[in-house]
Amino acid sequence: MKLPDFAYEAPATLAEAVGLLGEHQDEASVLAGGQSLIPLLALRLARPAVLVDINGLDELSGVSVTDGQVAVGAMTREYVAEESAAVAEHVPLLAAALPLIGHEAIRSRGTIGGSLAHADPAAELPAVARALDAEFVVRSQSGERVIPAAEWFAGYLATARRPDEILVEVRFPAAGPGTGASFEEVARRHGDFAMVGLAVSLTLAEGTVSDARLAFSGLADVPVRAEEAEALLLGQEPSQQLFEEAARRATAGVDPPADLHGSAEYRKKVAAALVRRGLRAAADSASQDSARQDSARQDSAHERQ
């Protein structure tokens, strides 16, 4: 399983990179972490004429927090994001999902942008991005566009990125106080792509749900937002009953794919179980965060006295 031939380019600047994509369009593939693309090349399922290696673009790496948003450079390695204090504090859902991505060696090279540009519907990061309404910043020779998550995921391994564009940054909203997150998944083995996964973010204010985000991986060609379940949860107190009804609503209309690892019926059942489990975990984590926030407020009030 040796890679087919291609012309190899390693641009030193972003300008060079978008120039190359502008020139080669869909004859070019962008090589980021390579953890998804190189297997496809080895299997000769991907046959780009030109490979544009953007690993030299240091400017595309890094995590920064501004104005309630966490900007993650597209070339930020998954392990760097996993170790990032900013991500842990401000995007707990992303922090919850990252350790589930493959194995450590994959996360050494895999990038946040690469995974999201590849858009495997079974992967964790697309569900996280969809749940949080992340924004995708792409650059081309004509300038920059910002694409919301709802429009980014276009189909199986397909995104709204045009052939002459590079994903440069992904922006996640910073979590407010009282937010808890969970990423639950059912995979055949530890580290495998999940058969079904669920990203959940819940915010509690005075004991009721003030914000609810649920997005599935593995149920369709793209991540699936469970908007009806989210609507049900708003304003309600967390309870087992509530979670069960949310699970019913979240899975009522889904038509999951069948493959070697699970039938459609199986995925639907598991999806419901994940909603129950994921909501419970996120609610617990949200309560803990509320308690932590209250305690911090009391501490600082004490200090002022």
Partner 1 sequence: MTDITVRVNGAARTASAEARKTLADFLRDDLDLTGTHVGCEHGVCGACTVIVDGRPVRSCLMLAVQAAGHEVTTIEGLAPDGGLGPLQEAMRDSHSFQCGFCTPGFVMQATAFLSAHPDAGEREIREALSGNICRCTGYQSIIDGVLLAAQRAKAGPGGDQ
Partner 2 sequence: MTQIAAERYTGASVKRSEDPRILAGAGRYIDDVKLPGMLHAAFVRSPLAHGRVLAVDASAARSLPGVVAVLTGTDLDAITVRGPDPLLAMMGAGASAPDYSLLATDAVRLVGDPVAVVVAESRYLAEDGCELVEVDYEDLPPVTSAVAALDPGSHPVFASLGSNVIGPRKRDEFGDVAGTFAAADRIAEFHIDVHRHQNVPMEGRGCVASYDPGSGVLTVHAATQSVHVTRMGIATCLGMEPGQVRVLAGDIGGSFGLKIGASREELAVAAASRALGRPVKWIEDRSENLTVSGQAREESFDVRAAVSDDGDLLGLDVSMVIDTGAYPVMGGMVPMIIEMMLPGPYKMAALGFESTAVTTNKASYIAYRGPWASETFVRERVLDLLARDLGLDPLEIRLRNVAPRTSPPAMMITGRPLTGVTTRESLERVAQIVDLPAFRRRQAQERARGRYLGIGLATFIEAAPGPRAPQGGGGLMGLESMRLRLSEDGILTLFTGQMPHGQSHQTTLAQIAADEFGVPFEQVRVVVGDSDVVPFGLTGGSRSATMTGGVTLHGARQLKAKVLDVAALLIEASARDLEITDGQVIVRGDPDSAIPVAEVARQAASGQLGVDPGLEVEASFDGGEGGWSGGSHCAIVEVDVETGIVTIERYVAAEDCGALINPAIVEGQIRGGIAQGIGAVLLERSAYDQDGNYQSATFMDYLLPTACEIPRIEIEHLETVPLDADVNFRGVGEGGMIVAPPTLVNAIEDALAPFGVRIYEQHLPPARILELIAKHAEGEGPAS
Nearest-angstrom CA–CA distance, 278 and 185? 9
Nearest-angstrom CA–CA distance, 197 and 216? 5
End-to-end CA distance of the chain: 70
> Which part of the chain contacts partner 2 (CB under 8 A), choosing from 53-61, 76-84, 149-157, 187-195?
187-195
The site partner of 297 among partner 1, partner 2, none (C-beta below 5 to 8 Å per kind) is: none
Assess 103 for contact with partner 1 (CB under 8 A). Answer: yes
Residue 190, SS3?
Answer: coil
DSSP notation for 4-58: PP-EEE--SSHHHHHHHHHHHGGGEEEESS-TTHHHHHHTT----SEEEE-TT-G
- Tell which positions 241-280 bind partner 1, by CB under 8 A: none
| Residue owning tokens 């038509």 | 255
Nearest distance in Å: CB 40, partner 2: 11
Nearer to partner 2, 16 or 245 (CB): 245
Assess 46 for contact with partner 2 (CB under 8 A). Answer: no
User: Applying CB under 8 A, which of residues 188, 237, 239, 295 lies at the interface with partner 2?
Assistant: 188
- Tell which positions 170-199 bind partner 1, by CB under 8 A: 189-191
- Tell which positions 241-270 bind partner 2, by CB under 8 A: 260-263, 265-266, 269-270
Nearer to partner 1, 29 or 290 (CB): 29
Nearest distance in Å: CB 76, partner 1: 14
CB 181 within 8 A of CB 288: no
Assess 3 for contact with partner 1 (CB under 8 A). Answer: yes
Q: 55 Cβ partners below 8 Å, 6+ apart?
A: 10, 31, 32, 75
| Residue owning tokens 């401000």 | 90
Binding residues for partner 1, how many (CB under 8 A)?
A: 30
What character string, x for contact with partner 2 (CB under 8 A) and - otherwise, covers 195-214? x-------------------
User: Applying CB under 8 A, which of residues 15, 43, 49, 154 lies at the interface with partner 2?
Assistant: 43
Assess 85 for contact with partner 2 (CB under 8 A). Answer: no
What character string, x for contact with partner 1 (CB under 8 A) and - otherwise, covers 15-54? ----------------x--xx--xx-xxx-------x-x-
Q: 263 Cβ partners below 8 Å, 6+ apart?
A: none
Nearer to partner 2, 109 or 268 (CB): 268
> Which part of the chain contacts partner 1 (CB under 8 A), choosing from 18-26, 100-108, 121-129, 279-287?
100-108
Biggest CA pair distance of the chain? 71
User: Applying CB under 8 A, which of residues 5, 67, 206, 299 lies at the interface with partner 2?
Assistant: 5
Q: Helix (H) and strand (E) counts for the chain?
A: 12, 14
Residue 30 has φ and ψ, to the nearest 5°, of -90, 130
> Exposed, middle or buried by CB within 10 Å (0-12, 13-18, 19+), for 142?
exposed
Beta-carbon count within 10 A of 28 CB: 22
Beta bridge partners of 135: 148, 171
CB 142 within 8 A of CB 212: no
The site partner of 195 among partner 2, partner 1, none (C-beta below 5 to 8 Å per kind) is: partner 2
Nearer to partner 2, 136 or 193 (CB): 193
Where do contacts with partner 2 occur on this chain (CB under 8 A)? Answer: 1-5, 43-44, 186, 188-193, 195, 260-263, 265-266, 269-270, 273
